[in-house]
């Protein structure tokens, strides 16, 4: 089930691994429904919950190569979605976003998600 992620969910988002092309089992680039090559960006996110700070590292699929992203850099995630999936008795979760860009001091770590069709975000 696809779920948009609220803009204020994360206090911080940092790139942890350089962006890399998403590939299939044969090593070929994976493409979205529009034929755009997908990229993966590993991001560490933190969120304050009560008096605790929780962190998680997530792989986010984005269409096209993110520009200007380096390891350790604060990033802005635009239109973030979470998708739970089940296939052949296996299950998991994927994350997708419209874009990931270098954060500026006045930019929050995530932007509000927009409406998305049933094809977007599943990985």
3-state helix, strand, coil in the chain (%, to 5): 0, 55, 45
pLDDT at 65 over 50: yes
In angstroms, what CA-CA distances link 75 with 34, 42, 61, 68, 89?
25, 11, 14, 10, 35
pLDDT at 67 over 90: yes
- Max Cα distance, the chain (Å): 46
8 Å CB contact between 83 and 54? no
The CA-to-CA distance between both ends of the chain, in Å, stands at: 12
111: pLDDT confidence band, cut at 50, 70 and 90? low
pLDDT digit string, tens, across residues 45-62: 999 989 999 999 999 999
pLDDT for position 42: 97
Ordered by start, the domain boundaries in the chain are 2-102
Q: Which two tokens stand for residue 93?
A: 């979760």
Superfamily (CATH) of domain 2-102: Nucleic acid-binding proteins (2.40.50.140)
Instruction: Compute the distance between CA of residue 122 and CA of residue 61 in angstroms, rounded to an integer.
Output: 9
What mean pLDDT do residues 26-41 have? 96
Instruction: Compute the distance between CA of residue 123 and CA of residue 115 in angstroms, rounded to an integer.
Output: 18
pLDDT at 118 over 60: no
């Amino acid at each position: 089930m696809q779920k948009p992620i609220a803009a204020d969910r994360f206090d911080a988002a940092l790139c942890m691994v350089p962006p890399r092309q998403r590939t299939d089992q044969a090593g070929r680039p994976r493409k979205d429904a529009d034929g755009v090559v997908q990229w993966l960006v590993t991001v560490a996110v933190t969120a304050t919950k009560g008096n605790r700070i929780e962190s998680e590292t997530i792989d986010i699929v984005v269409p096209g190569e993110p520009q200007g992203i380096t390891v350790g850099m604060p990033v802005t995630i635009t239109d973030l979605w979470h998708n739970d999936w089940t296939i052949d008795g296996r299950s998991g979760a994927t994350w997708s976003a419209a874009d990931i860009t270098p954060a500026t001091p006045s930019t929050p770590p995530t932007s509000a998600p927009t409406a998305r069709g049933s094809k977007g975000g599943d990985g």
